[in-house]
Structure 1
């Protein structure tokens, strides 16, 4: 086993970047006295919402349908079937928006749909974003610089790398700006709602590594 001195350091990097995507969640509801009527109304609203989403073309990367449920509404919360007073349907649609130029208009138009609840935008980077890799490289360079600084202070020099471990690379929204909207479009309403002015939230990407280097014997000790 080598008796060369070891220098262990931690390198860190913090980068700021503009978001690359925005995620929206749209919840559509129906409520009718009859189970089939509630389901039919929910299917109708779901189709209308998807048609609106598809009209934006490639600005929306992919719509995904989440959970769908038809739930009996009980009078006085009793379990007797005779106490069911109606049925409520819910469907959840998840959207990934890549063109922020249409985002404000899209959010308001979705919120203007009948019995629609919109949550978002949640700003994010893509999982394979180059920003994550760049942060990792900068963290590794910082580890080298720090190790050389310690070696210089001790009167020695770095001779080799023993190990380098990645503590993980991740990004998060530092100033998330969630927006919630409820819509109940009046029958025959012709006016479109005014688009919201949405400002993308800066993404903070952090990376950290732990490194161990061999060094020459200190001259000052």
Structure 2
């Protein structure tokens, strides 16, 4: 009997201890979603999002170029294509493009069908195609390089896509702007609540890589320049890189 009374009296204590642990765990898991505020053990947390952009002229361009050849039979198509493509690759090398910046992206051989009503398709020839991706690191010579490609037999050109080789310095400018925006918003929340910003709890960054920018109307420009025997006009403009920051600040009295 004594042991029974001891067991009954200790049960409420264990329940109270468990409740206390649950309350502590709940307080420790307090978290804030943007925008808003929540109480932590040290103060009020506020999460703000800020996006900023930075611009810079590109310093490199990517394009794809190649040759499509048509011949009555497959062997002739492949041979003709290889001869033409060899001249195109030679012109790329002659322009000073490093071997690491030239990569084959596709080789294909496809039949060319003749269609006649009420009859099955008939193969009348073969298309052979070979395409390479080229990175141009001196975009000031891009027009000259495009002209050389056309002159040596390239009949497929896609691009250029402009990009920035070293994005870190540009992204740092965007980060600085985004962080300033975030702090200004946190200060506005703090002022309205009669508090002050004491520290940054965490920073989460998204975005930041940017996408290479295409040059519009590229096909027409290359064709017109080739017809006029003039260098293709190139307008690289500026690339835009953006960063979004989710910053958690702590506010106190």
Aligned to 2:11: none
User: What corresponds to 2:151 in structure 1?
Assistant: 112
Asked whether 1:131 is paired with 2:170, we answer: yes
Offset, 1:192: 9.8
Structure 2 equivalent of residue 188 of structure 1: none
Within 5 A, what are the aligned runs for 1:1-221?
Answer: 1=27, 2-3=40-41, 4-58=43-97, 62-76=101-115, 83-114=122-153, 116-126=155-165, 128-172=167-211, 176-180=215-219, 181=222, 193-217=229-253
Relative contact order higher in (CA < 8 Å, ≥ 6 apart) = 1
Bigger drift between 115-124 and 71-80 goes to 71-80
Question: Any conservation in 2 of the 1:30–1:41 contact (CA below 8 Å)?
Answer: yes
**Bigger CA drift: 130-139 or 172-181?**
172-181
Q: Distance in 1 between matches of 2:162 and 2:135?
A: 10
Task: Using the TM superposition, name which of 104-113 and 31-40 deviates more.
Answer: 104-113
- CA deviations on 1:25-52 (whole Å, 9 max, x unpaired) are 1131111112111101111111101100
Q: Aligned-pair distance for 1:60?
A: 8.3
What 5-or-longer segments of structure 2 have no aligned partner? Answer: 1-26, 28-39
Per the normalisation by structure 1, the TM-score is 0.82
Q: Is the 8 A contact 2:164 2:239 kept in 1?
A: yes
Please state whether the residue corresponding to 2:143 is helix, strand or coil. Answer: helix
Task: Select the structure that is richer in strand.
Answer: 1
CA distance in 1, matches of 2:153, 2:203: 55
Q: Deviations over 1:74-122 (max 9, x none)?
A: 2218767xx3211110111111111122111111221234361212221
Q: Which runs of 5+ in 1 are unaligned?
A: 186-190
**Greater helix proportion:** 2
Larger radius of gyration, structure 1 or 2? Answer: 2
Question: How many aligned residue pairs are there?
Answer: 209
Q: Secondary structure at the match of 1:171?
A: coil
Runs of 4+ in 1 over 6 A off after TM superposition: 77-80
